[in-house]
């Protein structure tokens, strides 16, 4: 079953989808070949369901969309960046437990 709460963003629609969003946006920068990215993918999908209506959850394939990761200085993947009001509010690098991500999201939603 496809998760309709999970968006896939590209370099072309990043500004509109992420930076102009009224809600905070969690962007998962990932790549197909990245093992840790595959490890956290189910967590990112759960977050999209858990935070539906409160946070927009998006994934960006860094191989297909190289401009945005360079702009944000992404050196390693997975990197999760939480954007709020068009600016980076927090960043998580590496495969981390779901609790760590939810703690950061909850802090931004306060």
Catalytic residue ranges? 34, 37
- Note the pTM of the prediction, 2 decimals: 0.95
Please, what's the b/e burial string for 87-99 (b: 16 or more CB within 10 A of its CB; e: otherwise)? eebbebeebbeee
Element (H, E) at 7: strand 6-8
Note whether 44 and 59 are within 8 A (CB). yes
Q: Which domains does the chain have, with CATH numbers?
A: 6-109 (3.40.30.10)
CA pseudo-torsion sign 31, 77, 74, 47: positive
Q: What is the mean pLDDT of the chain?
A: 95
Backbone angles phi, psi at 5, to 5 degrees: -85, -10
Q: Tens digits of per-residue pLDDT, 17-54?
A: 999 999 999 999 999 999 999 999 999 999 999 999 99
């Amino acid at each position: 079953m496809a998760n309709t709460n999970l968006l896939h963003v590209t370099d072309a629609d990043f500004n509109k989808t992420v930076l102009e969003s009224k809600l905070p946006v969690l962007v998962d920068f990932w790549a197909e070949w990245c093992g840790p990215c595959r490890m956290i993918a189910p967590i990112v999908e759960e977050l999209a369901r858990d935070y539906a209506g409160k946070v927009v959850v998006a994934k960006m394939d860094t191989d297909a969309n190289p401009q945005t990761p360079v702009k944000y200085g992404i050196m390693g993947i997975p990197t999760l960046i939480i954007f709020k009001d068009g600016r980076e509010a927090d960043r998580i690098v590496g495969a981390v437990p779901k609790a760590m991500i939810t703690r950061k999201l909850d802090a931004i939603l306060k």
